Every structure is written in C-alpha cells, then in structure tokens.
Amino acid sequence: MTDQAPRPESDIPGKPTAASRTTLSHIMTGSDTNLLGTVHGGVIMKLVDDAAGAVAGRHSGGPAVTASMDEMVFLEPVRVGDLVHVRAQVNWTGRSSMEVGVRVMAERWNESTPATQVGSAYLVFAAVDADGRPRPVPQVIPETERDKRRYQEAQIRRTHRLARRRAIRELREKRIAEGIAD
C-alpha cells in the first residue's frame, strides 16, 4: 500500500507540516494497567495510532489507514495518574502514503512539573478512497529546520523499509526455488 517511487508533480496543492499537526491528551487510569501496575504498552500504542490517524486524515483530506508501524520505542514507564500527551505530525509524503512521527509525553496530572518524553513512533498511513483503493495525498511542506530534518530522516527510513522488504522477498523466493518449504 505504500509508494514504490518518487511521486510525480500533482495538481493537489501541498500542505505545510503545521496544517495537520495535533496533540491528543489522556489521563491514565487503573483500567489502563498491565500486570506490573504500569500502563500497558498496547494502550499507549492505541493512543499513538489514534493521533497518527487523525493527522493522516487531516493531511490527506479523508480516510487514511495504518499501513505499518515502523518503530515504537518506550523510553519510560507510564503510571496511573499520568497525563499523557501524544503529539503527531506528517514527516513525509509519497503519492498515497504518509509517514507520521509521534512523540509521547507524560506528566503527573496534579503536579506542575514539565512533561517528559516516554515514547516515540513512526507510522506509515495510506490514504484510501471509498472503495479502499489508494488515493493521492498533498505533498507535505516542511516549515522549520526541525521539520526539514524529520523529512530527510523519513526518507532514510523509507529507503530502509523498501530495501528490507525487497531482501526478504528475494530470500523467500530463493528458498522456494531451492525447494525449501516453510
């Protein structure tokens, strides 16, 4: 569902990074915990996917589906009573796909201490039409030096993603040709 080549010029006007950037916030409760008493990683992952999906939909102007989660890093545990802020933005766009970067911050709900980063993720979304087929997205226009750095880093991740898929496909084809069944 993701792009295989650089996108040609499009009639769709580009959108600046800030146009779809968003933050979702949620207070963690006892129902969010795992067996260790901290917030379950899956709860954080859902918040990440929700924020990234909102950003992808806003940027593309319609439905967008999660194609992959490239990386999810948990830096610190999240506790009951933490106010979690999930900040997301489009880092890169292809013809129909978008990489969305997400930063997860947490702070105590009843303290005035600064929020600390507790996680980050990169997700790839594909914009789809009513029939579920890929549709074009506006090019993202990085505005700040940080946005430009994120755009360049996203291009590197895309190159690695495509190379990894190609290498795995080639390995599987080789094993099949050698008569090795999995």
Output the DSSP codes for 74-92. E-S---TTEEEEEEEEEEE
Q: Which helix (H) or strand (E) holds 147?
A: helix 145-177
Contacts with 56 (C-beta within 8 Å, 6 or more apart), sequence order = 20, 64, 90, 98, 100, 125, 127
Going by C-alpha positions, the residue among 177, 122, 171 that lies closest to residue 150 is 122
CA 104/CA 72 separation, integer angstroms: 10
CA 65/CA 175 separation, integer angstroms: 32
Amino acid at 74: F
Instruction: Summarize the confidence of residues 114-136 as an average pLDDT.
Output: 97
Instruction: Please state, as a whole number, how many other Cβ atoms lie within 10 Å of the Cβ of residue 111.
Output: 9
Mean of pLDDT over the chain: 93
Going by C-alpha positions, the residue among 128, 25, 134, 147 that lies closest to residue 89 is 147
Q: Comparing 64-68, 131-135, 159-163, 178-182, which segment has the lowest mean pLDDT?
A: 178-182
| pLDDT confidence of residue 10 | 61
What are 86-122's pLDDT values in tens digits? 999 999 999 999 999 999 999 999 998 899 999 999 9
Measuring CA to CA, how many Å separate 48 from each of 14, 57, 104, 139, 156? 25, 14, 8, 22, 22
pLDDT of 5 strictly over 60: no
Instruction: Summarize the confidence of residues 113-139 as an average pLDDT.
Output: 97
The residue with tokens 């067996």 is: 35
| pLDDT confidence of residue 1 | 43
Q: State the pairing for strand pair 116-127/22-27.
A: unpaired
| pLDDT confidence of residue 180 | 87
| pLDDT confidence of residue 17 | 95
| pLDDT confidence of residue 175 | 92
The residue with tokens 């295989």 is: 4
Q: Comparing 9-18, 31-40, 171-180, which segment has the lowest mean pLDDT?
A: 9-18
CA dihedral 30, 32, 33, 38 (to 10 degrees): -100
pLDDT of 32 strictly over 80: yes
What are 48-93's pLDDT values in tens digits? 999 999 999 999 999 999 999 988 999 999 999 999 999 999 999 9
